[in-house]
Amino acid sequence: MKQEFFNLKINTDGQRLYEFTDLAIDWIKKNNFKNGIFNLNIQHTSASIIVQENADPDVKTDLINYFNKLAPMDNSLYIHSAEGKDDMPAHIKSSLTNNQITLSVKHGEILLGTWQGLFLFEHRLKPQSRKIIFHFLGE
C-alpha cells in the first residue's frame, strides 16, 4: 500500500475550462501506480474541478454560457460583491459543481470514459493561480 500527494498549480487567464487530464495521467504513470483511488481537490471557492467531454470545444463554451445565465454577473442580485461583479457568481458556480473528485485507477490507468477529461473550471474573470491537490492511495 502506498500513498502519495502532489500539488498541481494552474495559472488561469480568465473564465474558461482548463484541461489537465494529461498532467494527471503522467503523474500516475511517473509514480508507477497500479491500482487504487485517485482523489483530486481544488483549494478554492471560486473555481471548481469537473469531469467533462474533451472532444468538442462547443461543450466548454455552452457550459460557460449556461453557468453565466444561471448565476449572472449583476451585483444588484447579491449582497457579497467584495471582489467585483464575478465574485458571488463564482461562489455560486463552484458550489454547484465539484471541489473534489475521486476516480479509480486500474492497471495504471485512470478510469475515464472515451471522451472524458479533467478540467479546472475557472469562474473568475481575472487571472488566478489555482492549486489542485492530487492524492493517490493504493498500490
Q: What percent of the chain has pLDDT over 90?
A: 100
**Mean pLDDT value of segment 11-36:** 98
Q: What is the percentage of the chain residues whose pLDDT exceeds 70? A: 100
For residue 92, the one-letter residue type is I
Residue 31 exposed, middle or buried by CB count within 10 Å (0-12, 13-18, 19+): middle
Q: How confident is the model at residue 38 (pLDDT cuts 50, 70, 90)?
A: very high
User: Cα–chain-centroid distance for residue 8?
Assistant: 11
Average pLDDT, the chain: 97
Q: Is 93 exposed, middle or buried (0-12, 13-18, 19+ CB in 10 A)?
A: buried
Q: What is the pTM of this model?
A: 0.96
92-137 pLDDT, tens digit per residue, is 999 999 999 999 999 999 999 999 999 999 999 999 999 999 999 9
